[in-house]
Amino acid sequence: MTVWAFWSCLLFLAAALLMDIRFMRIPNWITLPLLIVGLIAQGVMNGRHGILTAICGAGAGFLLLLILHVLGAVGAGDVKLFAGIGAWTGILFTLQVTVYSVLFGAVIGWIIVLAKHETGSRVRGIISRSAGFLMLRDPRILKTGSKEALKFPFMLAVMPGFICAYLYL
């Protein structure tokens, strides 16, 4: 991934961070231009190879986050956002951003749980749902009701994940 791709993508991510913090959603007017401009930029800068890299990266980002979306962990805006990140940065960087973002998300989630003094009930719920998932093999069992679900803007984890992935390179 090049420096110009990092900074260009970071501008879109900053807008997504602001929207996610304020409204708990990432609108299409951020995600779609991120994807389209990423595809075009890769094509202009790197020709056919760039377009192939962008398409593969977008597909990888989309599929990885789609799995998390089906499990109820992230919203649809995050799925489209990671397709855009993949278009700008390619498969490997998108995989790294995903791993770092999930790790940061876990830390943020635990900080919230510890701050609310809900550790025991949350751990029992996670163990119960995980055991049910493993025994019944039904991914819907991992979804929790809206009353019990722990929600926070995933962009709070994506932004440091994106920066850490870049620094790792």
pLDDT tens digits for range 63-119: 999 999 998 889 999 999 999 999 999 999 999 999 999 999 999 988 887 887 776
Comparing 2 with 99, the larger pLDDT belongs to 99
Q: Which residues contact 61 (CB under 8 A, 6 or more apart)?
A: 82, 83, 84, 85, 86, 87, 94, 98
Q: d(Cα 165, Cα 93) in Å, to the nearest integer?
A: 7
Report the chain's mean pLDDT, rounded to a whole number. Answer: 87
Amino acid at the residue 13: L
The DSSP output letter for 140 is: G
Q: Residues 24-49: what's their mean pLDDT? A: 96
Write down how long the chain is. Answer: 169
- Residues above pLDDT 70, as percent of the chain: 83
Domain locations in the chain as residue ranges: 3-168
On the question of pLDDT at 144 being above 60, the answer is no
pLDDT (average), residues 24-46: 96
Instruction: Specify the pLDDT at position 133.
Output: 57
Does residue 154 surpass a pLDDT of 70?
yes
Q: 61 and 83 in contact (C-beta within 8 Å)?
A: yes
In angstroms, rounded to a whole number, what is the distance separating the alpha carbons of residues 90 and 49?
A: 11
Residue 27: its pLDDT value, please? 96
The reported pTM is 0.83
For the cut 50, the answer to whether the pLDDT of residue 146 exceeds it is no
What percentage of the chain carries pLDDT values higher than 90?
67
Q: Lowest-confidence range among 10-14, 19-23, 137-141?
A: 137-141
